[in-house]
Amino acid sequence: MKGFCFAGGGDPTLHPALWDALELVRDRGRQSAILTNGIEINTDRRREIAVSTCRWIGVSLDAATPDRYSRIKRTGPRVFQQVLENVRAMVDQVRRRDLRCEIAIKYLIHPSNSDQILAACELARDLGVAHFHARPAASENIEGLGERLDFPMEEINQQLDACLALQTPTFKTFGVRHKFTRTFNLEHGFSRCLAAPLAIQCGADGRVYLCIDWRGSPRHVLGMHWPEPEQILEFWGSPAHIEKLRAVQVEKCPRCTYGIYARQIENALERDAMCLNFP
pLDDT at residue 193 is higher than 80: yes
11-48, pLDDT tens digit by residue? 999 999 999 999 999 999 999 999 999 999 999 999 99
- Structural domain harbouring 88: 3-175
> Do 103 and 10 belong to one domain?
yes
Whole-angstrom CA distances from 27 to 33, 54, 201, 202 are 15, 12, 22, 20
Q: Is 162 helix (H, G, I), strand (E, B) or coil?
A: helix
Q: Are residues 160 and 33 in the same domain?
A: yes
Of the chain, the percentage scoring pLDDT greater than 70 comes to 98
- Using pLDDT thresholds of 50, 70 and 90, give the confidence band for residue 198: very high
> Residues 108-139, buried b or exposed e (16+ Cβ, 10 A)?
bbeeebbebbbebbebbbebbbbbbbbbbbbb
Here the CATH number for the domain that contains residue 42 is 3.20.20.70
- Per the domain annotation, does 180 fall within a domain? no
Angle at 191 between CA 188 and CA 192, to 5 degrees: 110
pLDDT score of 144: 59
Asked if residue 190 belongs to a domain, the reply is no
**Distance separating alpha carbons of residues 163 and 193, to the nearest angstrom:** 33
* Residues 159 and 242 reside in one and the same domain: no
pLDDT (tens digit, 9 = 90+) per residue, 54-101? 999 999 999 999 999 999 999 998 999 999 999 999 999 999 999 999
What's the number of domains the chain is made of? Answer: 2
